[in-house]
Amino acid sequence: MDVVSIGETMVLFTSEMQGLMRYARNFSVKIAGAETNTLIGLSRLGHQTGWISKLGQDEFGELVLSTVRGEGVNISRVTRDSSSPTGIFFKEFLHDGHVRVHYYRAHSAASRLEKRDIDENYIRNAKYLYLTGITPALSGSCREAVFTAIEYAKKYGIQIVFDPNIRKKLWKDVDAKEIILRIAKKADIVLPGMGEGDFLFGTSNPEMISEHFLNLGSRLVAVKLGADGAYFATENEKGTVSGYKIHRVIDPVGAGDGFAAGVLSGLLDHLNTREAVQRGCAIGAMVATVNGDIEGLPDKKLLRKFMNPENVDEVSR
C-alpha cells in the first residue's frame, strides 16, 4: 500500500432543495468520510490505498463497502458488526452558501473499533499512515486503535500524516486539545486549518501555527488557507501557494480531504514540497465545485487540465 488510513465512513443524505431541512422531502444518497475521501482521491490518482474500519451488518454498510471497493480502495481490513449500525448524516444547504451537517453516528459500528482491529503487518507494508482527529474522538476504543496504529508505524519507520480535522461536537468528556497534540507530536506531516491552529495554539497566523507544529517534531506543515491557498513550512523551506479561482463554491465539505490527497499524491510522485502543496490546493478547489465529498475528486488527466487550463476546450468533443 502507498497509504493506509483508519476511520468511519457514513451514508450521506443531502437535501435536494435549498433551505431548512424540515421542509425537505427528497434527498440524494452518497457516502462520505474524511479518511475514505482522501483514500479515494489517492486511488483515482493511481496510488494504492487501504482502509481499516467497521461497518454495520446492514444495507447502509453494503452501500459504503461496495462504493469504497469500487473506487479501488483495499477493504480487506474492514469488518462487519451485526450489533451496531452504520452511521448516517444529513447535509442541508442554507442561504448564502452556508452548509449545515447533522450526524447520527453515536454507537455506530465504527465507534467500536479497537486496537485488536489494527493489523501490524498492514501498517508495516504501507508508505504512509494517514490519520485525522475525527477517529480518536469517536470513542475510547477508537483512540486506543489510533495510538496502536501510530505505535506500529513508528516501529517500522512508516511516515505519519495527520489532519487535525477537529470536530468539537464529537469530543465529550475528553480533552480534545491534549489528544490532538499527542498525535501531532508523533506525526511527520501535519495538515491543519487556521481554525485548528487557533484552537490548539491560540493563533490563526499560518507562520506561527507551522512553527508550533515544527517545534513538536513535524518535518512538514501545510496550513490550509481556504480560497487563499496554503502556507507550508519545513526546517529549511517555507512559502505560500496561491489558491485556484473557481466561479462558484457549490459544496466546501470534503475540500480539506481533497487537499490531503493532493499533497500526499505529490509526495508519492516525488514532487517538491511546493508542487505537492500546489496539487493539494488544486484538488481542494475542484472538490468545492461539486456537490458531494468524493464526486469532485479528479483523475490525473482532469487534474492536469484544471491546473493548466491554457488551450483546453470548455467542451470535450
Rounded to whole angstroms, the Cα distance separating 73 from 88 reads 21
Instruction: Note whether 194 and 225 are within 8 A (CB).
Output: yes
Looking at residue 87, its amino acid is G
Taking every pair of Cα atoms in the chain, the longest distance, rounded to a whole number of angstroms, is 57
E-strand spans in the chain?
3-6, 10-18, 27-32, 49-56, 74-81, 88-93, 99-104, 128-132, 159-163, 189-190, 220-224, 230-234, 238-241
Long-range contacts of 275-281 (CB under 8 A, 24+ apart): 277/222, 277/230, 277/232, 277/241, 278/241, 278/307, 279/303, 279/307, 280/191, 280/222, 280/230, 281/229, 281/230, 281/241, 281/242, 281/243, 281/244
Q: Other CB atoms closer than 10 Å to residue 300's CB: what's the count?
A: 12
CA 182, 269, 291 angle in degrees (round to 5)?
A: 75
3-state SS class at 253: coil
Q: What does the CA dihedral 204, 179, 186, 212 come to, rounded to 10 degrees?
A: 20
Q: Other CB atoms closer than 10 Å to residue 169's CB: what's the count?
A: 8
269 is catalytic: no
Dihedral pair phi/psi, residue 79, rounded to 5°: -110, 165
Candidates 251, 257, 293, 313; catalytic one: 257
| Three cell numbers, residue 91 | 447535509
Active site residues: 257
